Structure formats: structure tokens, C-alpha cells
Amino acid sequence: MKTAKYRKRCFDQIEGITVNNRELAAEVERLRHQLEAVDQERTEQEAQNQNLVGQLNDKERQKTSKLSFCHIKCMTRVVALLVMTAVMQA
């Protein structure tokens, strides 16, 4: 009789462990899916950030090229003014 009760108790414990194991496996799978979703979102965010960095670099290059054109135009005027001043003094 004690052996039968012992076996039943052991089988009940095994059944409880098996159920607990299934629950934990389901939780692990849910967390895995959640992690994949977060990882995908992070990857998309990084791609968007890279795109924005590229756009900012393009705007900076455009701004720099405009400044360069303005500087060249201004330097040309200064040189012309200096030449005219030198001619007038000669």
C-alpha cells in the first residue's frame, strides 16, 4: 500500500513538473517572439537613423558648396577692387 501511494505521489510530481515545463517553454517562446519584434524594430530604427545621417551630410555638403561659391564670388570682387585701386594709383 505504501509503495502504491509513493508511486502515485512520484507520478503526480512528475506530472506537475511536466506541466510546469510546458508553461515555461511557452513563456520562453513568447519572450523569443517579443525579442525578435524588438530586434526588428531596432534594426528599422538604425536604418532610419542612417538615412537621416545621410540626408544631413548631403545638406551640409550643399551648404558648404554654396558658401564656397559665395567666398569665390567675394574674393573675385576684392581682387577686382584691389586691381582698380592699383591702376588708379599708378
Instruction: Judge whether residue 80 has pLDDT over 70.
Output: yes
Radius of gyration of the chain (CA): 38
Place of cell 532610419: 48
pLDDT in tens, 18-76: 999 999 999 999 999 999 999 999 999 999 989 999 898 888 888 777 766 666 677 77
Set of cell numbers at residue 8 = 502515485
For residues 11 and 18, give the distance between their C-alpha atoms in angstroms, rounded to a whole number. Answer: 10
pLDDT value at position 90?
63
